Amino acid sequence: MKNSEVEAIVLRAIRQALDNSHLGPADDFFGAGGDSILAVKVTSEVEERLGISLDTMGLYVAPTAAELAALISAGNGEDE
C-alpha cells in the first residue's frame, strides 16, 4: 500500500476520533484536542483498516497523519 493511501486512512481515523472533518495531514492530533483515550481509538481504527499492529506511542512520536503514515510505511518496508 502506498504511503498516500496509508495517510488517507490515518487522516480519516483522526478526523473521526476528533469529530473534525477540516483537519489536514499536517495538523497535530494533540494540538487539535486529542488525548490518550482518543489516541487508542485512532490506533485501533488504523490497525483494523491496515491489518497491522500499531503501538499507541506511535501517535505520540508522529502526531500528524502525514508523520504517522510515514512511520507506518517505513515500519512495513514500504516506499513513500
For the stretch 4-46, pLDDT in tens is 999 999 999 999 999 999 999 999 999 999 999 999 999 999 9
Is residue 78 within 8 Å of residue 3, measured between CB atoms? yes
Q: What pLDDT is attached to residue 1? A: 76
Q: For the residues 67-79, what does the mean pLDDT come to?
A: 79
Domain ranges of the chain: 3-75
User: What contacts 72, CB < 8 A, 6 or more positions away?
Assistant: 6, 10, 46, 50, 52, 54, 58
Q: Rounded CA gap, 32 and 76, in Å?
A: 27
CATH number assigned to the domain covering 3-75: 1.10.1200.10
Read off the pTM: 0.90
Phi-psi sector, 20: left (phi>0), alpha (psi -120 to 50), beta: beta
Q: Rounded CA gap, 60 and 36, in Å?
A: 9
* pLDDT band (50, 70, 90) for residue 76: low
